[in-house]
Structure 1
Amino acid sequence: MDIKDVDLNLLVAFAAMAEQRSVTRAAESVGLSQPAMSAAVGRLRLLFDDPLFVKTAAGMQPTPRAVALSEPVRRVVEAIKADILPASAFDPATAKKRFAIVTPDIAEVHFLPRILAHFAEAAPSCTLQTLSMSRHAAADALSSGAAELAIGYLPDLQKAGFFLQKLFRNDYVCIVRTHHPQVGERLTLKSYLAASHAVVSPDGREHLLEQALQKRGVERRVTVGLSHFMSLLPIIESSDLIATVPRDLANICARHGEIRIVEPPFKSPVVEVHQFWHRRFQKDAANVWLRGLVQQLFHGQA
């Protein structure tokens, strides 16, 4: 006998017959019709080349071969029920797991404090690692399992093989130091163009604002170009530069520094921030828990 010829459903039928000693009762116990159970018993007899269960005045009695098979088959069926069929559970309270999220520095500041606060309470033995990488590398990290989620404006991940969930919409505003001598509560296009600007261009990411300004024919006078958003806070605080940044970052800078937020003198492009994961991990219990947490904490909250 070759194992590839064994239909596991037949083992379930065998275990039911060994316990019930009746085709009718065995069929009821596993949710089959009586004809289907009779057919299964017939296939079992062919498979093992033995009558297995013989009709007597006392009911269907097992042959010596069936008696010998009963305990091993029962163990196999119970192992499948207990260890293979149930979906793996994830208990954050007891789990010791390292989660990784692909996200730029701007999102680290926005997302991590609240996620870590929730970890401390609900998942005290879990750790979190953020990874900064291009979208191409992000796709590879998600598909390989090196990262559970990618969070941000990542349009290249909106493709087959990936799931996404919208978190919030983000627009752009300007930030200046609190006592900027030329910028008051309002900013005209003329003063915007005359000002010196700090511009952040993260490597390998979509520069949506630059594209929007180019379409409008707006060309800024750039004094300093940066690759990280969080470098802006000390630079803007200590200079008369203007930076045009996503609103969530502006709010953080205003909370933690001598920074004012000023609406830009043009209609801002709107960015939709999503979380992404690979379809391989759609049903993974730990992944489901983490993205549920992110959705709970940040949905609709720019």
Structure 2
Amino acid sequence: MNTLRLIIALEETRNVTRAAELLDMSQSGVSSALARLRKRFGNPLFVRTSNGMEATPRASRMAENAREILSRVKTGILDLEEFDPSTEVADFALSMADVAEVVFLPRLLACLHTEAPKVTIQSASHRKEELLALMETGRVDLAVGYFPEIDTHAFFQQRLYDHTYVAMLRREHPALEAPMTTSVFSNLGHAVVMSPARTNDLFERFLEHRRINRSVVARTPHHLSLPSIVAETDLMAVVPLATGAYFADLGAVELVALPFKPPVFSVNQHWHRRNHHDSRHTWLRQKMLTLFNTATDRWLSLERELYGDLRRRAR
């Protein structure tokens, strides 16, 4: 790098003394460096004329290339990188359960359509044992949801908001005629999702800790099949509140408060240290935080209607 700067300075100033001042070097230091270059390339590079140190054709070509190289170094390495979502292309890989996609993707994609038209999103669900490796290698940029296993020093996390659970029953289900009790909850048949969604594990541990039993009649790997299952049977399904609200809006199921104070879990976004300072990833994380936070929590009023102030109890 110093050699490139030396060639440019000599070519521009045509004077060893002024080149030395420009480079903050001694005159003897510039002369010694020029002598080494002449020996290395077998070319005088700069010759004395009435107009000063005139560059040879070889030195002129070297100076031209040196300017291009230094410009690339400055813009590609030394300058602070900035991401312009309105013009730049970017492709992000997210990890989230199918139930989370229903919550996050519509609002995120609507935002990208207007603010970042050349940004694309790829979402997939990953099991615990593969997610960390995918994030370490950069194949997953951001994990969004409840991921208690991502707790190593190699990862960062940021809380978006807190969330809880609700029960779903078909319309005109006999259990809707009276307040739900723990006995009714335990005696009803349940449809349960067995998927990479970590919230399922959390609720199972909660029931086990409280010694609350339930009769599991059906297991499915997909949350999105639950509305049809519940609507056509007498089975109950317990899902995150946002998911239940979405299914209820479709008109297929009724939401029912659980007969006990359900657990509250944090919805976080997680990323690997390798992406922490990347301008593209920083922009995406900030956009997620702006779209999804306690202030924009669309389900908080429904939660309070069903359970009161769950969050104070959780704290």
TM-score range, shorter chain: 0.7 to 0.9
Q: For residue 133 of structure 1, give the secondary structure of its aligned residue in structure 2.
A: coil
Give, in whole Å, the separation in 1 of the partners of 2:139 and 2:160. 22
| TM-score relative to the length of structure 1 | 0.79
Give 1:227's match in structure 2, choosing from 215, 218, 221: 221
4+ residue segments displaced more than 6 Å: 49-54
User: Does structure 2 conserve the Cα–Cα contact (< 8 Å) formed by 1:96 and 1:125?
Assistant: yes
Q: For residue 155 of structure 1, give the secondary structure of its aligned residue in structure 2.
A: coil
Within 5 Å, which residues of 2 pair with 1:67-216? 70-184=63-177, 186-203=179-196, 205=198, 207-216=201-210
Aligned counterpart, 1:252: 246
Give, in whole Å, the separation in 2 of the partners of 1:188 and 1:256. 26
Q: For residue 270 of structure 2, give the secondary structure of its aligned residue in structure 1.
A: strand
Give, in whole Å, the separation in 1 of the partners of 2:157 and 2:229. 35
Give, in whole Å, the separation in 2 of the partners of 1:40 and 1:293. 52
Give, in whole Å, the separation in 2 of the partners of 1:133 and 1:141. 9
Give, in whole Å, the separation in 1 of the partners of 2:55 and 2:74. 26
Whichever residue aligns with residue 117 of structure 1, its letter is A
Q: CA RMSD in A?
A: 3.3
Aligned counterpart, 2:235: 241
Q: Deviation of residue 97 (structure 1)? A: 3.8
Give, in whole Å, the separation in 1 of the partners of 2:292 and 2:98. 17
TM-aligned CA distance change 1:13 to 1:179, over 3 Å = farther
Whichever residue aligns with residue 12 of structure 1, its letter is R
TM-aligned CA distance change 1:134 to 1:39, over 3 Å = farther
The answer as to 2:233 corresponding to 1:273 is no
**Which segments of 5 or more consecutive residues in structure 1 lack a partner in the other structure?**
1-7
| TM-score relative to the length of structure 2 | 0.76
User: Does structure 2 conserve the Cα–Cα contact (< 8 Å) formed by 1:13 and 1:37?
Assistant: no
Give, in whole Å, the separation in 1 of the partners of 2:20 and 2:248. 71
TM-aligned CA distance change 1:184 to 1:126, over 3 Å = same
**Which segments of 5 or more consecutive residues in structure 2 lack a partner in the other structure?**
300-315
User: Does structure 1 conserve the Cα–Cα contact (< 8 Å) formed by 2:11 and 2:54?
Assistant: no
Q: For residue 119 of structure 1, give the secondary structure of its aligned residue in structure 2.
A: helix
TM-aligned CA distance change 1:194 to 1:38, over 3 Å = farther
Whichever residue aligns with residue 41 of structure 1, its letter is V
Whichever residue aligns with residue 118 of structure 1, its letter is C
Whichever residue aligns with residue 90 of structure 1, its letter is F
User: Does structure 2 conserve the Cα–Cα contact (< 8 Å) formed by 1:17 and 1:23?
Assistant: no
| Structure 1 residues 181-213: Cα deviation after superposition (integer angstroms, max 9, x where no partner) | 223473221222222222222148461111111
Q: Deviation of residue 72 (structure 1)? A: 4.3
User: Does structure 1 conserve the Cα–Cα contact (< 8 Å) formed by 2:16 and 2:31?
Assistant: no
Aligned counterpart, 2:30: 41
User: Does structure 2 conserve the Cα–Cα contact (< 8 Å) formed by 1:237 and 1:257?
Assistant: no
Give, in whole Å, the separation in 1 of the partners of 2:223 and 2:31. 71
Q: For residue 174 of structure 2, give the secondary structure of its aligned residue in structure 1.
A: coil
| Structure 1 residues 76-111: Cα deviation after superposition (integer angstroms, max 9, x where no partner) | 323322444335543333344433211111011111
Higher deviation after alignment, 145-154 or 69-78: 69-78
User: Does structure 1 conserve the Cα–Cα contact (< 8 Å) formed by 2:128 and 2:196?
Assistant: no
Give, in whole Å, the separation in 2 of the partners of 1:261 and 1:113. 22
Whichever residue aligns with residue 166 of structure 2, its letter is V
Q: Deviation of residue 286 (structure 1)? A: 2.7
TM-aligned CA distance change 1:258 to 1:293, over 3 Å = same
TM-aligned CA distance change 1:220 to 1:18, over 3 Å = same
TM-aligned CA distance change 1:173 to 1:75, over 3 Å = closer
User: Does structure 2 conserve the Cα–Cα contact (< 8 Å) formed by 1:164 and 1:275?
Assistant: yes
Q: Deviation of residue 125 (structure 1)? A: 3.6
Give, in whole Å, the separation in 2 of the partners of 1:280 and 1:244. 37
| Structure 1 residues 27-74: Cα deviation after superposition (integer angstroms, max 9, x where no partner) | 5x67xxx5x6668637735743689999xxx9xx54767965544443
Q: Deviation of residue 241 (structure 1)? A: 1.9
Q: State the identity %.
A: 32
Higher deviation after alignment, 9-18 or 191-200: 9-18
Give, in whole Å, the separation in 1 of the partners of 2:110 and 2:29. 56
